[in-house]
Structure 1
Amino acid sequence: MDPLVVTLELDEETQQRFDAERRELFPAGRTAVGAHLTLFHAVPGERERQVLADVAQEARRPTFGLRVREVMALGRGAAYRLEAEELVAIHRRLQRAWADGLTRQDGQGLRPHVTVQNKVTPEVARATVERLRAGFEPYDVTAAALAVWRYVGGPWEPVERFPFEG
């Protein structure tokens, strides 16, 4: 079965901003999905029923804020680093629930970020990071939902979206 991806969705205004930057900064044809904050990259697809139940349970809470803290260099790209204690707590609870089926990457601590550029030369990436940092000031955004996707060898198929309450 195809693995599942679990993401955090941000408020619509923030999502549009990150999507626009991603369209501008990614090489043409090199992105199969929009901007996203990945919580888990490859949960075994056989666990879909448990994943959906656990994610639905985590979404039964009020929305919460995140701080877009800084522009990060990725070597061959650029991203925004986000912070929120609530998000780290959600990630830890899901990680414990799925511990025996997680990849090494998904078993590590969460480093929340949204990638807006990848798969470019280090020189292009450095120039992008410098440009984005030049006018950057930390700002607050809002968590909107948790989403589960099926990874189908490049593009993702939506499985289910779980909006936070209120």
Structure 2
Amino acid sequence: MTHHSPSTAPEPDPLIMTALFDPHSFDTLDGLRRRYFPAAQNRVPAHATLFHHLPGADLRAVVERMRTDCAASAPLPFTMARTRFLGRGVAFEIECPGLVTLRAGFAAAWKDRLTAQDRQGYKPHATIQNKVSSDEARDARGRLDALLPISGTVVGLALWHYRGGPWEEAGRFAFGDGAGS
């Protein structure tokens, strides 16, 4: 889907950047998301978003920066030791200083192109549940707290086209190996 405005050329779909978890961590988080997130609204797998809306017109520059920075980064250990109540859902807070630092480098490079949401302070998290009643979220939070801590590794970054529903993958970039698509 391309966004149109009467006075401008069509703008390509926005891009979303997420962290890639090691396979065991991803399986754990995605299984919990499938269990707790309303099935009809769970359109994407478990993830931690770094940016919600990068300009699609900058796809080549974004990909090149991701390829370079990911090749130069080692895998990043993380711990999830707390939940965050979202009002109508629950997320795991992600403690990963390396991810925060990596994201800050991207944010500085793209500061003039970021949306207000992406200019806010970055607090990494993985949403496990959303779009439920606050009572259901409080109940789930108690059960999810009992699973903590969860530790693992962020092994790279992914880039997605946002087209209104499920995301379309635009590339995966592993840390430390220079590979990416």
TM-score, length basis structure 2: 0.88
| 1:87 equivalenced with 2:99 (yes/no) | yes
Matched ranges for 1:4-153 at <5 A: 4-60=15-71, 61-133=73-145, 135-153=146-164
Specify the SS of the correspondent of 1:29: helix
Larger Rg, first or second structure (1 or 2): 2
**Residue in 1 aligned with 2:9?**
none
Shift of 1:109: 1.5
Answer with 90-99 or 66-75: which moved more.
Answer: 66-75
Shift of 1:69: 2.1
Moved over 6 A (4+): none
How far apart in 1 are the matches of 2:139 and 2:150?
22
TM-score, length basis structure 1: 0.96
How far apart in 1 are the matches of 2:31 and 2:97?
27
Structure 2 spans left out of the alignment, 5+ residues: 1-11
Specify the SS of the correspondent of 1:13: helix
Q: Which amino acid aligns with 2:51?
A: F
Contact 1:70 1:136 in 2 (8 A): no
How far apart in 2 are the matches of 1:122 and 1:70?
18
Shift of 1:40: 0.1
How far apart in 2 are the matches of 1:86 and 1:131?
28
Contact 2:25 2:151 in 1 (8 A): no
Q: Which amino acid aligns with 2:91?
A: A
How far apart in 1 are the matches of 2:26 and 2:79?
14
State the number of aligned residues.
Answer: 165
How far apart in 2 are the matches of 1:121 and 1:164?
38
Percentage of matched positions with identical amino acids: 39
Structure 1 spans left out of the alignment, 5+ residues: none
> What CA RMSD, in Å, does the superposition of the two structures yield over aligned residues?
1.1
How far apart in 1 are the matches of 2:112 and 2:88?
32
